[in-house]
Amino acid sequence: MTKKILLLSAYDTSSHHYWRDQLANMFSAYEWTQRALPARHFSWRIRGNSLSWGFDEADSFREDYDLLIATSMVDLSSLRGFIPKLATLPTLVYFHENQFAYPMGTVSNKNAEQQLVPIYSALCADAICFNSNYNRTTFLEGARSLFKQLPDLVPKNLSSHLEASTALPVPIDVPDKNERVSAADHLSVVWNHRWEYDKGPGILLEIIRQIAKEELPIRFHILGEQFRQWPAEFDQIQELLESHCQRTGLAAGHFGFIDNKEQYFACLQQSDVVLSTALHEFQGVAMQEAILCGCTPLAPARLVYPEYLEPQFLFPAAETAEAEAAAADILRTWLELRRSGTTLPQADLQSYSSNNLQDRYAALFARLLQGR
């Protein structure tokens, strides 16, 4: 009999959506029911998703499922109270991020309730997975610190239950590589991250300023998801790149989100370098897609990046002029390699492909289903 899986994504950002699509594609023999809530109104969403589902969609949640998979933002303990049948299902809670490791300046860093809801959900789970060791480590450190701050009656075994968890990345798939046709007389750099504060637009601006000041033949594609409002740095970056292209004679790179997947991957496959300036990253799906498309990565030596990138692909983590200059120096070196006809260094991320991760997911699902 076909196994039925209920998958819940309470704050369905593009990477969460990508992950659940990947699971459904990898395990098409299962019957999937997916419920997802929009990625907006974060404080309400993380606390109110159990109300939205528990009352508006209760009937569909009472069907006969064999396995429940929920993101860590699902208020699982409350949802099980509203729909007790869910408490009988073997459950996997998956962490795409945690509320302890956000950069200072974001609201999430100041709200203990947003930190407690994922802890409650994890304590309900039969299995807990994180998309990286960095995510797992920072969550455990943050949870232990939070437990010490609580006034009294904190159970002693909470940390040990949370520690019985593992890292299992989001599987990454990209189209087969086309023949690269980027010109040897310049370096093509793509920055393909969300247009938000936590992706370090200020650092990106300073790196581009240094490249533009020297009029180096480096062409930038500024891609990634955009929202109604974005940091002012992006307007400055656009003006700076337009001026840079006029002075150097370079064709303007793409500026803005590419909705068409074929066009997006074509841009990645024809770029030489993928750049990250992130202040917050727990796996870096966009970065990994570009690497698997053949781009040479350049990222700060912090967050998750040292977990899968060798030191040659990292620049100093400090947010200083020296760190930004170091990143520009690496781009300058790679420009000279490109001009000399030398192949740029490549990072190996095949272990993150669905072909290499499918067995690990399959073993986890089988264990949970057998438990039922």
The per-residue pLDDT for range 274-313, each reduced to its tens digit, is 999 999 999 999 999 999 999 999 999 999 999 999 999 9
Instruction: Supply the CATH classification number for the domain 187-351.
Output: 3.40.50.2000
The share of the chain scoring above pLDDT 70, in percent, equals 95
What is the number of residues in the chain?
372
Q: Is 80 exceeded by the pLDDT of residue 182?
A: no
pLDDT of 321 reads 86
The CA-based angle 148-152-157, given to 5 degrees, is 65
Q: What are the start-end ranges of the H helices in the chain?
A: 14-26, 42-56, 58-61, 76-82, 112-124, 133-149, 158-163, 201-213, 233-248, 261-269, 285-292, 305-308, 321-340, 354-371
206 or 112, greater pLDDT: 206
Strand order in the sheet with 31-36: 31-36, 4-9, 67-71, 91-95, 127-130, 166-167
pLDDT of residue 107: 40
**Using 50, 70 and 90 to split pLDDT, how confident is the model at 372?**
low
Reported as a pLDDT band with limits 50, 70 and 90, residue 50 is: very high
CATH numeric code, 4-171+353-371: 3.40.50.2000
pLDDT of residue 320: 81
pLDDT tens figures, 18-46: 999 999 999 999 999 999 999 999 999 99
Exposure of 60 in the CB half-sphere (CA atoms within 13 A): 13
Alpha-carbon separation of residue 154 from 102, 128, 301 (angstroms): 25, 21, 36
> Rounded to an integer, what distance in angstroms lies between the CA atom of residue 250 and that of residue 257?
21
pLDDT at 145: 93
- What confidence tier does 227 reach under pLDDT thresholds 50, 70, 90? confident
SS3 148: helix
Q: What is the pLDDT of residues 99-121, one digit of tens each?
A: 998 765 444 445 788 899 999 99
For residue 13, give the 3-state DSSP assignment.
coil
Please give the backbone phi and psi of residue 49, each rounded to the nearest 5 degrees, phi first. -65, -35
What angle, rounded to 10 degrees, do the helices at 42-56 and 112-124 form?
Answer: 40
Q: Look up the pTM and report it.
A: 0.93
Question: CATH 3.40.50.2000 residue ranges in the chain?
Answer: 4-171+353-371, 187-351
Tell me what the pLDDT averaged over the chain comes to: 93
Average pLDDT of the residues in 196-207 = 95
Task: Give residue-wise pLDDT tens across range 118-177.
Answer: 999 999 999 999 999 999 999 999 999 999 998 999 898 899 999 999 999 999 999 887
Report the pLDDT value the prediction gives residue 181, as an integer from 0 to 100: 60
Instruction: Give the separation between CA 295 and CA 346, rounded to whole angstroms.
Output: 7
Average pLDDT over residues 3-26: 96
- What percent of the chain lies above the pLDDT cut of 90? 85
Query: 3-state DSSP call for residue 6?
Result: strand
Could you report the per-residue pLDDT of 304-362, keeping only the tens digit for each? Answer: 999 999 999 999 987 788 899 999 999 999 999 999 999 999 999 999 999 999 999 99
